[in-house]
């Protein structure tokens, strides 16, 4: 999934909340925001959010940015993911430590001997958050909706392992009955795949395959209509452990325990307040001031301080994700792959990791993080300014002469800005080309890259499931998350046909390596570093488990009051 951050919260309301209005509220400056949060959060005494939250069962969560959408068939980002997984649930869950499949809406499942047919047995006590029965027919309708081209689901390709899903989405067949998903009865769902798919159960815990409430969607518009009011405060009906109670644009999203959830009795949190905080310095100060239980952002220059004092609040863990730059291959000066490779060969990744990031990030020379399901892709990409200058000269720009000023787009974040500035300087030093920087707020940035209204764009991809396919199927021709306009039918054939039909795991990994070699040779994307997850977690938060997808399990978490209520020490 794409990854980023961008917006600000205000203090929680203490009285009655007005109904939602979709009008943006002017964000507060970080300093004013911090002052208000510190002074006004308790509406009475001087108690901070962490202390009061521990007593009331309210988790205060720094979420990184204002969500683009809470529609699981439209959202694409990590901040959206965190909220959606609280509100909705798939057939299968992931174990919060091992990521192994666990029962969700489905209590169990059978897999045919040939690995192609999955039969899921759904809970008879499953309910939507408004109390409606929740059954197998909801999945058939929801997956039909997700495959409507007019909806613009950028994750539509996640359905393509299912028999005839790709053909239906692309209009080659018009009868959804031919797609391999059937409700055998109210509580039995059968899914037929094109080929055995090792990661299929993992897919079912990704929000793009979550069910949606048909009556609610149809109440506010057509099934394939984007941006209707069905996800607004007071309207959204989900099937998860929590339900949406408040959404104030640029301020907070509040979810409360869902009494109709099948496992409601085991849920210990009463409420989660998600704050869209873009500024890393602000969110870290708020954490130390006891206004947040959690921050997924730590300023690079603070990491060493936390490490030196062995502060248990700091959680650094391996993270299945890659930070990279997309290149719009339609831009005239970027159409020649020699230019793109020259750009990739003049980024000093070691310097970026050690001097800017400082959080254990690993320089990346491939798009797929090494070690994913035993996959270690080869790469000839290296920091080699001399060879890069020759490539640029061969492309018609000796010593950068005649190369048009080119723009790096990034979503608003101090961390992204520092990396862009460093790369801007590297390209000037080694290639003598001029690069301008442009930052945009998260939603605007997403629109720009999706519509190819950019030249070079910052990007990140966090694994949705643990398999190399999740990184490589991004770059299929016309893939919703490709966003580079690069297209290679031979690459598509390897990913969509050869790999799924491979007889052994080793053969499948060899096919992926061939495909990734093609991608790196053409270089429509420039890998920069492999992520680590850097979180700040208050000691009162229990059952927060680090995992390589950095996915929280809110249904398992609870709060326990203690001496750490005031946050980390200064």
Residues in the chain: 570
Beta carbons of 261 and 127 less than 8 angstroms apart: yes
Dihedral of the CA atoms 84, 533, 273, 233 (nearest 10)? Answer: -30
Grouping H, G, I as helix, E, B as strand and the rest as coil, residue 240 is coil
How many of the other CB atoms lie within 10 Å of CB of 318?
A: 17
How many of the other CB atoms lie within 10 Å of CB of 288?
A: 18
Lowest mean pLDDT among 1-10, 39-48, 365-374, 397-406: 1-10
Q: Is the predicted pLDDT of residue 10 greater than 70, yes or no?
A: no
pLDDT band at 82 (very low <50, low <70, confident <90, very high): very high
Grouping H, G, I as helix, E, B as strand and the rest as coil, residue 391 is helix
Grouping H, G, I as helix, E, B as strand and the rest as coil, residue 338 is helix
Residue showing tokens 């974040």: 413
286: left (phi over 0), alpha (psi -120 to 50) or beta: alpha
Distance of CA 157 to CAs 2, 208, 245, 470, 474, Å? 15, 10, 32, 10, 9
CATH class of 319-531: alpha beta
Cα Rg for the chain, rounded, in angstroms?
24
pLDDT for residue 175: 97
CATH fold of the domain at 30-86+240-313+538-566: D-Maltodextrin-Binding Protein; domain 2 (3.40.190)
Query: Average pLDDT for residues 166-181, to the nearest whole number?
Result: 97
180: closest CA among 167, 172, 171?
167
**What is the rounded distance in angstroms from the CA atom of residue 480 to the CA atom of residue 321?**
18
For the segment 384-405, what is each residue's pLDDT rounded down to a tens digit? 999 999 999 999 999 999 999 9
503: closest CA among 115, 191, 164?
115
**What is the rounded distance in angstroms from the CA atom of residue 537 to the CA atom of residue 295?**
7
Q: 219: number of CA atoms within 13 Å, CB side? A: 12
**What is the rounded distance in angstroms from the CA atom of residue 526 to the CA atom of residue 348?**
12
E strand segments, 330-465: 362-363, 406-411, 435-440, 456-462
Per domain, the residue ranges of the chain are 30-86+240-313+538-566, 92-217, 319-531
Grouping H, G, I as helix, E, B as strand and the rest as coil, residue 503 is coil
Which H helix or E strand runs over 166? helix 165-169
Beta carbons of 150 and 118 less than 8 angstroms apart: no
Residue showing tokens 């794409």: 2
- Tell me which of 43 and 328 has the higher pLDDT: 328
Q: Is the predicted pLDDT of residue 350 greater than 50, yes or no?
A: yes
Which H helix or E strand runs over 251? none
**What is the rounded distance in angstroms from the CA atom of residue 238 to the CA atom of residue 330?**
40
* pTM score of the predicted model: 0.84
Q: What angle do CA 70, 150, 215 make, to 5 degrees?
A: 55
Which residues fall within 8 angstroms of residue 143, CB to CB, at 6 or more apart? 159, 162, 165, 179, 181, 209
Phi then psi for residue 488, to 5 deg, are: -140, 105
pLDDT for residue 12: 30
Beta carbons of 236 and 242 less than 8 angstroms apart: no
pLDDT band at 144 (very low <50, low <70, confident <90, very high): very high
pLDDT band at 373 (very low <50, low <70, confident <90, very high): confident
514: closest CA among 502, 531, 532?
502
| Helical residues (DSSP H) of 14-132, grouped into ranges | 30-40, 49-56, 78-87
pLDDT for residue 2: 56
Beta carbons of 525 and 368 less than 8 angstroms apart: no
How many of the other CB atoms lie within 10 Å of CB of 528?
A: 24
Q: What angle do CA 273, 536, 305 make, to 5 degrees?
A: 145
Query: 3.90.76.10, 3.20.20.210, 3.40.50.720, 3.40.50.12780: which CATH number matches 92-217?
Result: 3.90.76.10
Lowest mean pLDDT among 178-192, 293-307, 342-356: 293-307
**What is the rounded distance in angstroms from the CA atom of residue 149 to the CA atom of residue 181?**
18
Which H helix or E strand runs over 491? helix 489-493
How many of the other CB atoms lie within 10 Å of CB of 562?
A: 10
Query: Average pLDDT for residues 86-101, to the nearest whole number?
Result: 94
Query: Average pLDDT for residues 57-76, to the nearest whole number?
Result: 95
Beta carbons of 67 and 249 less than 8 angstroms apart: no
What are the structure tokens assigned to 569, written together? 């020490």
**What is the rounded distance in angstroms from the CA atom of residue 180 to the CA atom of residue 193?**
7
Q: Is the predicted pLDDT of residue 568 greater than 60, yes or no?
A: no
For the segment 484-540, what is each residue's pLDDT rounded down to a tens digit? 999 999 999 999 999 999 999 999 999 999 999 999 999 999 999 999 999 999 999
User: pLDDT > 70: what percent of the chain?
Assistant: 91
Distance of CA 186 to CAs 109, 139, 211, 216, 509, Å? 15, 11, 14, 20, 39
b/e map of 416-448 (b: 16 or more CB within 10 Å)?
Answer: beebbebbbebbeebbebebeeebbbbbebbeb
Which residues fall within 8 angstroms of residue 64, CB to CB, at 6 or more apart? 4, 5, 6, 78, 79, 276, 277, 278, 296, 297
**What is the rounded distance in angstroms from the CA atom of residue 377 to the CA atom of residue 370?**
7
**What is the rounded distance in angstroms from the CA atom of residue 523 to the CA atom of residue 37?**
45
Grouping H, G, I as helix, E, B as strand and the rest as coil, residue 407 is strand
């Amino acid at each position: 999934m794409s990854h980023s951050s961008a917006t600000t919260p205000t203090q929680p309301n203490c009285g009655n909340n007005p109904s939602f209005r979709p009008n943006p509220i002017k964000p507060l400056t970080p300093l004013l925001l911090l002052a208000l949060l510190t002074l006004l959060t308790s509406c009475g005494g001087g108690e901070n959010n962490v202390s009061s939250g521990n007593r009331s069962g309210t988790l205060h969560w720094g979420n990184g940015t204002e969500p683009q959408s809470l529609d699981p068939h439209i959202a694409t980002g990590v901040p959206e993911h965190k909220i959606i997984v609280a509100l909705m649930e798939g057939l299968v869950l992931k174990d919060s430590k091992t990521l192994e499949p666990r029962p969700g809406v489905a209590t169990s499942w059978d897999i045919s001997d040939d690995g192609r047919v999955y039969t899921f047995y759904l809970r008879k006590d499953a309910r939507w958050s408004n109390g409606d029965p929740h059954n197998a027919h909801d999945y058939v309708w929801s997956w039909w909706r997700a495959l409507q081209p007019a909806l613009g689901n950028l994750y539509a390709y996640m359905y393509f392992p299912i028999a005839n899903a790709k053909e239906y989405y692309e209009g080659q067949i018009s009868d959804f009955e031919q797609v391999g998903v059937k409700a055998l009865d109210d509580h039995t769902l059968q899914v037929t795949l094109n080929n055995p798919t090792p990661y299929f159960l993992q897919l079912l815990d990704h929000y793009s395959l979550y069910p949606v409430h048909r009556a609610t969607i149809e109440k506010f518009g057509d099934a394939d209509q984007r941006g209707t009011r069905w996800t607004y405060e007071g309207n959204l009906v989900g099937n998860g452990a929590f339900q949406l109670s408040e959404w104030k644009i640029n301020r907070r999203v509040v979810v409360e325990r869902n009494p109709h959830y099948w496992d409601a009795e085991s849920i210990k949190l009463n409420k989660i307040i998600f704050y869209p905080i873009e500024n890393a310095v602000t969110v870290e100060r708020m954490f130390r001031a006891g206004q947040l239980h959690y921050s997924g952002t730590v300023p690079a220059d603070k990491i060493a301080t936390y490490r030196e004092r062995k502060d248990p609040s700091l959680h650094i863990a391996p993270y299945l994700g890659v930070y990279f730059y997309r290149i719009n291959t339609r831009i005239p000066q970027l159409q020649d792959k020699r230019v793109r490779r020259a750009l990739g060969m003049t980024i000093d990744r070691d310097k970026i990791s050690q001097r800017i990031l400082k959080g254990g990030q690993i320089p990346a020379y491939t798009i797929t993080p090494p070690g994913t399901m035993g996959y270690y892709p080869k790469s000839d990409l290296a920091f080699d300014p001399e060879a890069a200058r020759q490539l640029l000269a061969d492309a018609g720009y000796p010593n950068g002469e005649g190369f048009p000023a080119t723009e790096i787009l990034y979503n608003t974040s101090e961390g992204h800005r520092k990396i862009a500035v460093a790369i801007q300087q590297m390209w000037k030093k080694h290639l003598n080309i001029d690069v301008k920087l442009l930052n945009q707020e998260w939603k605007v940035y997403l629109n720009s890259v999706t519509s190819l209204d950019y030249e070079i764009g910052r990007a990140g991809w966090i694994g949705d499931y643990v398999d190399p396919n999740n990184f490589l199927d991004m770059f299929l021709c016309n893939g919703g998350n490709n966003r580079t306009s690069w297209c290679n039918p031979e690459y598509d054939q390897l990913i969509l046909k050869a790999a799924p039909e491979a007889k052994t795991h080793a053969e499948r990994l060899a096919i992926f390596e061939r495909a990734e070699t093609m991608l790196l040779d053409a270089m429509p994307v420039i890998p920069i570093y492999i992520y680590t997850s850097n979180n700040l977690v208050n000691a009162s938060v229990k059952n927060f488990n680090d995992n390589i997808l950095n996915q929280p399990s809110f249904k398992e978490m609870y709060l326990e009051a203690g001496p750490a209520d005031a946050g980390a020490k200064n």
